[in-house]
Structure 1
Amino acid sequence: MYETIRLEKQGRVGHVVLNRPNSMNAMNGQMMKELAECFESLHNDNTLHVVKIYGAGRAFSAGGDIKEMMDPNNPMDIELVMKDVSRLSKALYTLPQVTIAVIHGASAGLGFSMALACDHVIAEENSKLAMNFIGIGLVPDGGGHFFMKERVGVPKAKEIIWAGQTLKAHDALAKGLLEEVTAEGRAMEHAENYANEVLSSPVLAKLASKNILHTLKLPELEQVLEMEASAQSAMRKSKDHLEGIQAFVQKRKPEFVGE
Structure 2
Amino acid sequence: MYKTLLFEQEGRIATLTLNRPDAMNAMDETMMEELAELLEDLKENKSIQVLIIKGEGRAFSAGGDIKAMLNDENPLDIDAAMDYLTRIALNLYTLPQITIASVHGAAAGLGFSMVLGCDIIIAEENSKLAMNFIGIGLIPDGGGHFFLKERVGIPKAKQLMWSGQLFNGKEAQKLGLVDEVAPDGAGHATAAAYAQKLIESPVAAMITSKEILHLSKIHDLQAILKGESKGQSAMRKTADHKEGIQAFVEKRKPTFKGE
TM-score higher than 0.5 here? yes
User: What is the percent sequence identity of the aligned residues?
Assistant: 56
TM-score of the superposed pair, with normalisation by structure 1: 0.99
Give the AA of the match of 1:65. Answer: D
**One-letter amino acid of the counterpart of residue 44, structure 1:** E
Give the match for residue 123 of structure 2. Answer: 123
Distance 1:69 1:13 in 2: 35
SS in structure 2 of the partner of residue 107 of structure 1: strand
- 2:60 maps to 60
Instruction: Say which SS state the counterpart of residue 54 (structure 1) adopts.
Output: strand
Q: Tell me what 2:50 maps to.
A: 50
Return the offset for 1:55.
0.5
Match of 1:14 in 2: 14
Report the Cα distance in structure 2 between the residues aligned to 1:74 and 1:19, rounded to whole angstroms: 22
4+ residue segments displaced more than 4 Å = none
2:207 is aligned with 1:207: yes
Amino acid at match of 1:159: Q
| Residue-pair matches, total | 259
Pairwise mapping of residues 242-257 of structure 1 onto structure 2 (< 5 A)? 242-257=242-257
Task: Name the aligned partner's letter for residue 47 of structure 1.
Answer: S
TM-score, reference length from structure 2: 0.99
- Residue 197 of structure 1: how far off its partner (Å): 1.2
2:35 maps to 35
* Cα distance per residue 1:138-182 (max 9 Å; x no partner): 000000000000000011000100000111111110000010011
Cα deviation digits, residues 190-220 of structure 1 (max 9, x gap):
1111111110111111000000011110010
Give, in angstroms, the shift of residue 20 of structure 1: 0.3
Given residue 254 of structure 1, which amino acid in structure 2 is its aligned partner?
P
Offset from partner CA, 1:24-69 (integer Å, 9 cap, x none): 0000000000001000000111101100000011100000000001
- Structure 2, unmatched stretches of 5+, are none
Distance 1:91 1:105 in 2: 25
Partner of 2:88: 88
> Which string of whole-angstrom CA distances, capped at 9 and with x for unpartnered residues, describes residues 110-150 of structure 1?
00000000000000001000100000000000000000000
For the residue of structure 2 that corresponds to 1:57, the secondary structure is coil
Taking the aligned partners of 2:28 and 2:5, their CA distance within structure 1 comes to: 11
Structure 1 alignment gaps of length 5 or more:
none
